[in-house]
Each structure stands twice: as structure tokens, then as C-alpha cells.
């Protein structure tokens, strides 16, 4: 059977997973009466809830005698470590672009990786049936993007289709018949080359492991494309690390190939196919699995370095251990090490004392997803404010710069530019109208300046703005950037919050808690309306007397508290504050619980 390996690239919410659903349906991968969930490739709970692809996943369809292996790649640059490895498995890419929005920052990030590998793209302009679609403008922007990314002549001469993934059609012309995806299937078969590895079937077996999975019955599963040779179940092979160190020898207990949404056991893997192997105990991502006669590892794609670090510690608050079952530092460490095995974009290191761990990664979203997964598994953690990783170049201190692409109503563009180019030390790169009363702003901003900015941005744009960011490069350190301006309200008592006390505190600022919530000394219960921290008593009840007086018996009417998401809480805190994360709660607190102890520490430091 003919073979084609492709990856689908798109920005978050441009319809990539929906299009894969239609490819599976129209290729006959499902029975007619089979119940299939919408966005079938998003198998992770968090992916379904957030509508984003976090983990790269492979599937396979058959079309007129050709098997097409399709890899669904993450759309967000924070999960780019997945993308960089995945692209080494494929021979072509389908770039999906929203006809209204055009190519966005995350598209640019993944496309640059694909073009650098020499992959020939197919461009699909999706959602052309939307009322605000401008497919011709989007197509011009894609060409400009490829040109800016140093695409060669073959890559610039890309074929394109107009499509609606939700309606399940793709055509070469905008006013085509709009019936099905036949045009896309044919273009993939004709434009994407067959794997060159097919010609190497007589050589020794070699395969680069690109993703790590686990099965409760067979153990570790490593997935990758077979680079040369053949492999049968029961054969003994070895694993070699990226630097050439021999890790282990093992017997292959199972070979699985992708068929539709599932995986099927096969007896033999051949060069060019994408398969999963079982039987290893130590081998991991980026290792080469090969015959015993092979000495040299396959070249693994270099992974972009992490740009931020967050400290994961044990939860040592007075309410620790009430929600979660996994609270010890050794259990937290084991879980983080397991994550680092399968996610090459994350690095773990111990802090002095061994009670906390430095986790370095790509961005706040990646950290938020890791913490949310651990929280659902029953962990309790205390999380520090993200810190940006600096590096030295020729004796000069360098910091990471991100490219922020912002779509905002014309009325709010001034406020956004003032915030980004003022205290946050950003540089305006481009500003142009993007239709229907909106402006597109592109700015290069230090990563430090964007930590905690998203909440302010939504306030400034009345919730209508869209901000996307992607790593741009390194630049000399731009000097101090002020953090959060507002102070916080700190509880000075332990107990349950009283509605009357919170009502009296509302004039001091906005509240993060409601009545009857458990609080403790040092916990942050709200944001102060001024720039200093204030210790308050949220347990103070109403003095009761037997005298009735006009005005003293008013009903207590509380403003609903502000409930932060995990990412918002992590971005909100200052360096001397922590986020306490449990399966049922997200709380903010000062790093030192006792206010008197805090004063003593400050005095000792300085």
C-alpha cells in the first residue's frame, strides 16, 4: 500500500481538530452507526474543556489504496516541544489558516520549524463561509509569511484550497461545488512525497522515538517513524541516547500501528511507517531504537530552551492536607520527573533543602496545564510567581523577547499601546486596520513585561481584545519593569469569613473570597484599592445590642468575589506571594504566613 505521512498545523481555534474529524469520517474510518464524539482527536479532558490541542496525536486513514498517517500538532507555542519532534516524522504539512484572521503567531512558530526541515506545505484556507472571511487577503499574508521565513522556491510555489472543516468540504476554487474533501485527499496524495525511508528496507532497523505513552497492560510505548529496515515482534533491539550512550537492550513485546482513531497490533514494522513499540523500561523521547549492530544514533531535532521557571513546593499552609492525598515532596518530585521524561520542553531541578523544585518551561499556559493535571490527580502544591530565565552572551545579560499580536477594537488601541511601550518596555513593530472596526498591533515585548498583563489587557479592552504571543528571540536586558501596582488585603485571623466583615471591607478593594470560606493568617483575601498591603480582620462580626435604630439593621449585600483561574492567579502574584493549589481550591497567600515573622525576616535582610 502507498504511504503518506503529514502533519496538520494551525493556530489555536482555527479548526484543525474539526477538519481531522471530517477526514476520518469521509475516509470510512468509522462505521455508519458508530457514535463518535466531536473533536475526536482531543482525548484529554483539558483539551476538550479548553478547546486546544495539548498533546500531539497520530491517526491514519485510507484513501483509494493509499494510507495517510496524519499527526495532529498542538496549536500553542507553549507546547512547541511536541511540535519540533513530531515534524521529524512527516514528509509534508497541511497549514490550516482561518480565512478571517489570517496567519497568527503560533502558525508562524510551527511553520518556521516545518520550512527549516524542507517540508513542502499545502495551504488550506478554512472557514471561508464565515461572513467576515477574506480568503484572498489571508492567502497573500501566508505568502508574505513564507517569504519572511526564508522558504525556498518549491515551498513558495504552494498549492492552496478553500475549505470549511465544520461543513466537511474543500475545493480548489472559492465557488466550487462544496460537496466533500476529495480535493484535499487528492492533493495530499499527489503533492506530498512518499517516505524516502521505504527504499531503505534492506538496511539495519533504526527508529527515532518522538512521543512517549503508557499502557496499563504493556507498559511504556514509544512512537516514531521507522527510518530504515524492518522489525518483527519478539526481536531484540537496543536504545541509544542522543549523545551515543547505550541505554538498554530489550525484546520487542508489541508493535502497534495507527488505524483510524485506534491502534492495532501488527507483526512487522516497515521503513516509512509510523508505529509504537513496547518492551523497553528506560528508553525515552529522542532516543534511537535500533538493531544491535548499529552504533550511531539518529540526529534528533534540537529543542528550543525554556524561557520561564516556576518553583513547585509542598503546601505548608494551615489548611494543607484537607483536600489532596499527595502532599509529600518526594511524591511531587516523582510526578515532575515523570513529566520531564515525556515532555522534553520541561526541565526539573532541585532547590537547596529539597523541599521545592524549579520547573523550567516555555510559558504560563504550559505550566498551568501541568499544575491543573497534577491538581486533578490529587496533589497539593504551592506555586511561586514565574521568573524569566536570563542568559549571558559575550559578557552581556540577555533576556527573552516575545512577539505579541493583538486584535483590538479601534477605541482601545491607544490604551494597549501605552501599556506595552511604556512601563513594559515593548517596541511597536506594526499597526494596521484589520477590518470591521478593529486594529492589529504587533509588538516585541520582554517576557517579563507580559507576565500578569493578560488580566489588565482584558480590563483595558472591556473583554473584547485577543492577545497571542510567541517567542521571538533574545535581546539585551531592558532594565527594571514594575510588577503589580495594587497592594493586597491580608487576613490577620484564622477561621471562617463573616459576611458583615467582608461587607465593611468592600470599600478597601475587591474581594477574592466569599462568606463562610475558610481563611488563615497570611492568606490574601482581596486586592487593596491602593498600592500598599493591608492586614484586615474578615472575622469581625456585628456588635449585637437590644436597641433597634434606623440604619443599623441594613441588609448585608455583598458584591460577588473575583474568582481567578489558575493561570490568572500565577500571573497575579508578586515575588513575596504564593499560589496554594489543591484539588478543590486556589488560594493566594504571603510567602511567610506569620506577619510578625515576615517583619523580622525583612529586618534581617536589610
| pLDDT tens string 84-129 | 677 878 888 888 888 888 887 667 777 887 888 888 889 999 888 8
C-alpha cell at 285: 523521547
Are 390 and 334 in contact by the 8 Å Cβ rule? The answer is no
Burial readout 432-465 (b: 16 or more C-beta within 10 A, e: otherwise) = eebeeebbbbebbbbbbbbbbbbbbbeebbeeeb
Q: How many CB atoms lie within 10 A of CB 431?
A: 13
Using alpha carbons only, give the angle 169, 48, 130 rounded to the nearest 5 degrees: 35
Res 174 pLDDT > 50? yes
pLDDT value, residue 251 = 92
Res 168 pLDDT > 70? yes
Res 53 pLDDT > 60? no
pLDDT value, residue 179 = 86
Among 35-44, 509-518, 547-556, the minimum mean pLDDT is found in: 35-44
Res 471 pLDDT > 80? no
Q: Which of 16-25, 480-489, 518-527 has the highest mean pLDDT?
A: 518-527
Helix-then-strand count for the chain, H and E: 15, 35
Q: How far apart are CA 579 and CA 567, in angstroms?
A: 10
pLDDT value, residue 237 = 92
More confident residue, 360 or 219: 360
Rounded mean pLDDT, 17-43: 61
| pLDDT tens string 351-375 | 877 778 899 887 777 888 888 889 8
Res 425 pLDDT > 70? yes
Res 30 pLDDT > 60? no
Res 415 pLDDT > 60? yes
- Mean predicted lDDT score pLDDT of the chain: 81
pLDDT value, residue 603 = 46
Pick from 139, 147, 140: which is nearest to 112 by CA? 147
| pLDDT tens string 306-360 | 888 889 988 888 888 888 888 888 899 888 988 877 677 788 888 877 778 899 8
More confident residue, 152 or 49: 152
Q: How far apart are CA 498 and CA 541, in angstroms?
A: 6
Q: Is 209 exposed, middle or buried (0-12, 13-18, 19+ CB in 10 A)?
A: buried
Burial readout 353-367 (b: 16 or more C-beta within 10 A, e: otherwise) = eeebbbbbbbbbbbb
pLDDT value, residue 42 = 47
Using alpha carbons only, give the angle 410, 412, 417 rounded to the nearest 5 degrees: 100
Task: Label residue 39 by pLDDT band (50, 70, 90).
Answer: very low
Rounded mean pLDDT, 68-72: 83
Amino acid at each position: 500500500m502507498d504511504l503518506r505521512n503529514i502533519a496538520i498545523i494551525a493556530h489555536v481555534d482555527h479548526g484543525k481538530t474539526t477538519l481531522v474529524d471530517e477526514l476520518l469520517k469521509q475516509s470510512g474510518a468509522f462505521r455508519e452507526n458508530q457514535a463518535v464524539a466531536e473533536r475526536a482527536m482531543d482525548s484529554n479532558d483539558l483539551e476538550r474543556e479548553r478547546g486546544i490541542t495539548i498533546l500531539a496525536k497520530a491517526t491514519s486513514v485510507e484513501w483509494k489504496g493509499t494510507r495517510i498517517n496524519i499527526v495532529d500538532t498542538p496549536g500553542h507555542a507553549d507546547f512547541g516541544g511536541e511540535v519540533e519532534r513530531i515534524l521529524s516524522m512527516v514528509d509534508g504539512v497541511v497549514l490550516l489558516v482561518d480565512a478571517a484572521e489570517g496567519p497568527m503567531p503560533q502558525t508562524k512558530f510551527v511553520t518556521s520549524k516545518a520550512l527549516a526541515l524542507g517540508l513542502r506545505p499545502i495551504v488550506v484556507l478554512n472557514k471561508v463561509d464565515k461572513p467576515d472571511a477574506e480568503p484572498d487577503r489571508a492567502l497573500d499574508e501566508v505568502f508574505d509569511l513564507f517569504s519572511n521565513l526564508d522558504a525556498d522556491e518549491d515551498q513558495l510555489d504552494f498549492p492552496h484550497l478553500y475549505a470549511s472543516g465544520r461543513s466537511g468540504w474543500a475545493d480548489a476554487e472559492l465557488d466550487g461545488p462544496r460537496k466533500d474533501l476529495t480535493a484535499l485527499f487528492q492533493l495530499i496524495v499527489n503533492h506530498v512525497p512518499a517516505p524516502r525511508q521505504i527504499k531503505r528496507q534492506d538496511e539495519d532497523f533504526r527508529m527515532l522515538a518522538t512521543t512517549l505513552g503508557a499502557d496499563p497492560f504493556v507498559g511504556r510505548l514509544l512512537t516514531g517513524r521507522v527510518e530504515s529496515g524492518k522489525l518483527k515482534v519478539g526481536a531484540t533491539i537496543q536504545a541509544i541516547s542522543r549523545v551515543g550512550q547505550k541505554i538498554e537492550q530489550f525484546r520487542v513485546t508489541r508493535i502497534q500501528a495507527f488505524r483510524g482513531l485506534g491502534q492495532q497490533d501488527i507483526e512487522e514494522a516497515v521503513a516509512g511507517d509510523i508505529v509504537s513499540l513496547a518492551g523497553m523500561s528506560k528508553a525515552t523521547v529522542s532516543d534511537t531504537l535500533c538493531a544491535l549492530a548499529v552504533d550511531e544514533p539518529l540526529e534528533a531535532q534540537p529543542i528550543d530552551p525554556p524561557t520561564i521557571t516556576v518553583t513547585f513546593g509542598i503546601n505548608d499552609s494551615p489548611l494543607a492536607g484537607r483536600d489532596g492525598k499527595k502532599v509529600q515532596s518526594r511524591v511531587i518530585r516523582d510526578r515532575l520527573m515523570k513529566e520531564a521524561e515525556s515532555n522534553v520542553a520541561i526541565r526539573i531541578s532541585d532547590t537547596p533543602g529539597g523541599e521545592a523544585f524549579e520547573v523550567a518551561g516555555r510559558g504560563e499556559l504550559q505550566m498551568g496545564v501541568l499544575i491543573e493535571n497534577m491538581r486533578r490527580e490529587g496533589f497539593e502544591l504551592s506555586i511561586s510567581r514565574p521568573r524569566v530565565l536570563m542568559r549571558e552572551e559575550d559578557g552581556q545579560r540577555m533576556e527573552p523577547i516575545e512577539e505579541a499580536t493583538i486584535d483590538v477594537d479601534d477605541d482601545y488601541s491607544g490604551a494597549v499601546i501605552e501599556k506595552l511601550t511604556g512601563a513594559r518596555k515593548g517596541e511597536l513593530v506594526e499597526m494596521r486596520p484589520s477590518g470591521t472596526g478593529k486594529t492589529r498591533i504587533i509588538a516585541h515585548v520582554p517576557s517579563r513585561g507580559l507576565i500578569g498583563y493578560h488580566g489588565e489587557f482584558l480590563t483595558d479592552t472591556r473583554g473584547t481584545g485577543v492577545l497571542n504571543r510567541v517567542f521571538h528571540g533574545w535581546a539585551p536586558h531592558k532594565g527594571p519593569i514594575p510588577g503589580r501596582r495594587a497592594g493586597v488585603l491580608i487576613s490577620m485571623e484564622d477561621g471562617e469569613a463573616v459576611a458583615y466583615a467582608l461587607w465593611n471591607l468592600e470599600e478597601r478593594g475587591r474581594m477574592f473570597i466569599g462568606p463562610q470560606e475558610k481563611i488563615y493568617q497570611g492568606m490574601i483575601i482581596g486586592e487593596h484599592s491602593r498600592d500598599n498591603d493591608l492586614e484586615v480582620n474578615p472575622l469581625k462580626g456585628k456588635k449585637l445590642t437590644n436597641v433597634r435604630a434606623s440604619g443599623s439593621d441594613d441588609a448585608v449585600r455583598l458584591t460577588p468575589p473575583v474568582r481567578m483561574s489558575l493561570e490568572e492567579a500565577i500571573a497575579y502574584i508578586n515575588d513575596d506571594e504564593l499560589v496554594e493549589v489543591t484539588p478543590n481550591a486556589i488560594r493566594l497567600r504571603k510567602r511567610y504566613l506569620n506577619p510578625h515573622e515576615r517583619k523580622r525576616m525583612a529586618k534581617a535582610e536589610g
